[in-house]
A and B are shown apart, each in its own frame.
Chain A
Amino acid sequence: MLSIKNLHASIGDKEILKGINLEVKAGEVHAIMGPNGAGKSTLSAVIAGNENYEVTDGEVFLDGEDLADLAPEERAHKGVFLSFQYPVEIPGVSVTNFMRSAINETRKAKGQEEMPANEMLKLIREKSELLEIDRKFLSRSINEGFSGGEKKRNEIFQMAMLEPKLAILDETDSGLDIDALRIVANGVNKLKSDKNAVVVITHYQRLLDYIVPDFVHVLYNGKIVKSGDASLAHELEEKGYDWIKQEQEA
């Protein structure tokens, strides 16, 4: 589904990604771990099409289609979803209205009719229950005054609403207490199928107890330096990242 080949990306003059290769197939869960500053968030931003980063070499394919020339919204229409590490506050736009715009714009792009209002309400009810979100929450301005945990839960709620093909969860566990972590992970697991894929970007192994990855990759200094199964995450948890750093510098 997602195929990344020799991806190099920079912000300004600084090269952050230095040749990433990654294959993600439908039905798989991949975890990308690594120390701070390794390029984890840059990778997710580049896949989502953030124009602040410049792709200097390499390609990103989604189902065989090169994403290079696609705007962020076009990638979203094709099924790319990014759960933000820092979800943005938008005063004056309610969660409900935001979701209505997002869903209807996506349908429009696919040449479909707008979703009827009653169907929309039903969907919102269903998905908010899945994430244990209070209905009052949905009429509030998006992310405005939300706690860290509420923001993250709201991200996964949006993911549930949009049913993406490829979901990238960027540090979704940060700021979550254990109950919220369980709710979020439960939501992700329920959405998982053999038709979609999840890439979990995280610093800690904690979330991976709940969302069990098929593959774990270690990103260090802009490159994937190690890949393995779920046991690699435990190894990292035990030994820390210094072990990787030493291995690389040796």
Chain B
Amino acid sequence: MELKEKLISSFMAFEEQIDVHSELHDLRTAAIKNFENKGSPTKKEESWKYTSLNAILKNDFTVFPKSETSIEFKDVKKYFIHEIDTYKIVFIDGVFSSNLSSTTHQGLDVCLMSSALNKPKYKMVIDTYFNQIASKDESLTSLNTAFANEGAYINIPKSKVVNKPIEIMYFSTGNEAALLVQPRNLVIVGENSHVQIIERHQSLNENPVLTNSVTEIFAQKRAIVDYYKIQNDHMGANLIDNTYVSQKQESHVSVQTFSFGGNLTRNNLNFYHFGERLTSTLNGITIIGEKQHVDHYTLVHHAAPNCESFQDYKGIFSDNSTGVFNGKVYVEKEAQKTNAFQKSNNILLGDKSTINAKPQLEIFADDVKCSHGCTVGQLDETAMFYMQQRGIPKKEAKALLMYAFSNAVIENIKIPELKQRITKIIALKLGVKIGFDL
């Protein structure tokens, strides 16, 4: 395959230009070898059965953008939660933009992966955490690891409640005909600390972009992490998001994914438990149309007793759009008293829209509560008539029902301005003005 060869030769050039210490060099070399062996995933693999990358990989992607581009804040303000003060780590075509960013080293590190990887003072942290929870087996994660050089680096010491949300923003300008970007984020949240993070990938025009992103999140004892992913991109945008979460005892980590846009989106979300009495929450709302494709592939690996996991994914699919939900819950023998719940509810609005839902439960402990439920349906006609009878026109009634449907997930958003923003995006998606608050 052409892209594969291009990537492998790019890797050699890349390795020469950066000054890396040997551990990193070994890591990258192993990663590129794994990618070289495995290649990009195909539909022949069970985990990629419903998602094909073929058409996308035919693009002649630029791996390193030729020139740096600057953007004015006013032009992209709308993509930020600008109503409130936030830390910002902003990248344009994969390159850090200092004028759009608002980073810090005071009391916590909200800064760049490139400095963390290269500066000696971060070496110990990097050696401890970098690539420790990310898969060494999955080929696209390996590809990211091989090229990992830039992204967000967030390190929060213990007992720190971060006073404002952190926004991680990746803009693609479309200056390249086709661009491949591979962000690499590392988030470490210390004992008893609390942080809210919003991540967004945004193209500024329709030129094809493929983002292969890897994020590692480490939540220490009793840490609380609320992570929000906003996916509302142009039709040229393709995103493969690989997020790996490592949780210690009594921590609470939630990852909420709002998938509204882009051509193809694949969310690989993996939670690993390393302590008791912790909670993992995975929520998602998907509202897509045209020929859009969104694939949620989740894994929760229960390895210790008394832990809980909650998964709630809502999907609304119109036109020719397709959705995939593959939720795997793995409960090890040691993980007694596990509570693991999984729900995937879907509404198909188009005659040609499809959802493939596949729950997978592998349970080796005998004292657990696990449940899963997938529903696929159309909008309730009797409810529609009921609302119309009260004077609510069909279109609004439909929107109201869809809001109601996604409400359980929207309710979980803990940043009011973000909640408002998501509600607004949904209203826009459904083409209605909402005369009420949910």
Contact residues of A with B, CB < 8 Å? 48-52, 71-73, 76-77, 81-82, 84, 87-93, 97-98, 100-106, 109, 114, 141, 158, 162
| Residues of chain B at interface, number, CB under 8 A | 27
Which 6 residue pairs of A and B lie closest in terms of their CB atoms, listed nearest first?
A92-B404, A72-B388, A76-B391, A102-B390, A92-B407, A88-B386
Contact segment of B44-52, B152-160, B207-215, B395-403: B395-403
| A101 with B389: CB separation less than 8 A | no
A195 to chain B, nearest CB (A): 19
**Interface-forming stretch among B80-88, B278-286, B377-385?**
B377-385
13 intermolecular pairs with C-beta atoms under 8 Å apart: A73-B397, A77-B391, A84-B386, A88-B386, A90-B401, A92-B404, A101-B435, A102-B387, A102-B390, A104-B435, A105-B391, A109-B391, A162-B391
Residue of B nearest to A88 (CB): B386
CA distance A123 to B381 in the complex (A): 29
Report the minimum CB–CB distance from B385 to chain A (whole Å): 6
A49 to B382, CA, bound (A): 13
Contacts A87-B386, A104-B435 hold; do A92 and B405 have CB atoms under 8 A apart? Answer: yes
Interface string of B403-438 (1 = CB under 8 A from A): 111011000000000000000000000000001111
B380 touches A98 (CB 8 A): no
Contact in complex: A93, B392 (CB < 8 Å): no
A-B contact count (CB 8 A): 83
Report A101 CB to chain B, min CB distance, Å: 5
B25 contacts chain A at the CB level, 8 A cutoff: no
- Answer whether residue B4 sits at the interface, using C-beta atoms and an 8 A cutoff: no
Contact across chains for A48 and B389 when beta carbons are under 8 A apart: yes
Q: Could you say which residues of chain A place their CB within 8 Å of the CB of B403?
A: 92-93
Q: In the complex, how many angstroms separate the beta carbon of B412 from the nearest chain A beta carbon?
A: 13
Q: A97-B436, A101-B435 are contacts. A73–B404 as well, Cβ < 8 Å?
A: no
Residues of B participating in the A interface, judged by any CB pair closer than 8 Å: 380-383, 385-394, 396-397, 400-401, 403-405, 407-408, 435-438
Q: Which residue of B lies closest to A86 (CB)?
A: B382
Contact A93-B400, Cβ < 8 Å, known A72-B385, A114-B435: yes
Which residues does chain A contribute within 8 Å of B400, judged by CB atoms?
93, 98, 101
Q: Considering the complex, give the chain B residue whose CB is closest to the CB of A79.
A: B391
* Cα separation A114 to B396 with both chains bound (whole Å): 15
Q: Is the CB of A100 within 8 A of B435?
A: yes
Known: A90-B401, A92-B408, A100-B436. Contact between A105 and B393, CB under 8 A?
yes
- Nearest B residue (CB) for A109: B391
Which one of A49, A91, A158 has the greatest number of beta carbons of chain B within 10 Å? Answer: A91
Name the A residues within 8 Å of B393 (CB-CB): 71, 73, 105
